[in-house]
Amino acid sequence: MQTIKGPGLFLAQFAGDVAPFNSLPAIAKWAADIGYIGVQIPSWDRRLIDLDLAATSQDYCDEVKGICAEAGVEVTELSTHLQGQLVATHPAYDLMFDGFAAPEVRGNPTARQAWAVDQVKKALTASRRMGLDRKVSFSGALAWPYVYPWPQRPAGLVEEAFDELARRWLPILDHAEDQGVDICYEIHPGEDLHDGISYEMFLERVGNHARACMLYDPSHYVLQNMDYLAHIDIYHERIRMFHVKDAELNPTGRQGVYGGFQSWVNRAGRFRSLGDGQVDFGAVFSKLTQYGFDGWAVVEWECCLKHPEDGAREGAAFVKDHIIRVTEKAFDDFADAGTDRMTNRRILGLEV
Residue 18 lies in a domain: yes
Domain assignment present for residue 352? The answer is: no
Nearest 5°: the CA angle 259, 265, 271 is 80
pLDDT at 328: 78
pLDDT < 50 positions in the chain:
none
- Evaluated on CA atoms 333, 336, 338, 340, the torsion sign reads negative
The C-alpha angle 24, 117, 23, rounded to 5 degrees, equals 10
CB atoms within 10 A of CB 105: 17
CATH number of the domain to which 230 belongs: 3.20.20.150
Distances in Å between the Cα of 40 and the Cα atoms of 9, 139, 261, 283 are 6, 18, 31, 24
Strand-pair category, 182-186 with 74-80? unpaired
Give the Cα separation of 352 and 76 in Å (integer): 59
Residue 335's pLDDT is what? 59
Instruction: Provide the 10 A C-beta neighbour count for residue 37.
Output: 19
Residues 227, 229, 230, 232: is their CA dihedral positive or negative? positive
pLDDT of residue 56: 98
pLDDT of residue 135: 98
Per-residue model confidence (pLDDT) at position 93: 96
pLDDT digits (tens, 9 = 90+) for 113-153: 999 999 999 999 999 999 999 999 999 999 999 999 999 99
pLDDT, residue 338, reads: 73
Q: What is the pTM of this model?
A: 0.94
pLDDT of res. 118: 98
Q: Measure the N-to-C terminal CA separation of the chain; round to a whole number of Å.
A: 39
Instruction: Domain count for the chain, please give it.
Output: 1
Residue 48 lies in a domain: yes
pLDDT, residue 327, reads 79
Give pLDDT, residue 344. Answer: 87
The runs of H, that is alpha helices, within 72-182 are 81-85, 94-97, 109-129, 157-179
What's at 277, amino acid-wise?
Answer: G
Specify the pLDDT at position 342: 86
Range of the domain at 31: 5-347
Burial of 68 (0-12, 13-18, 19+ CB in 10 A): buried
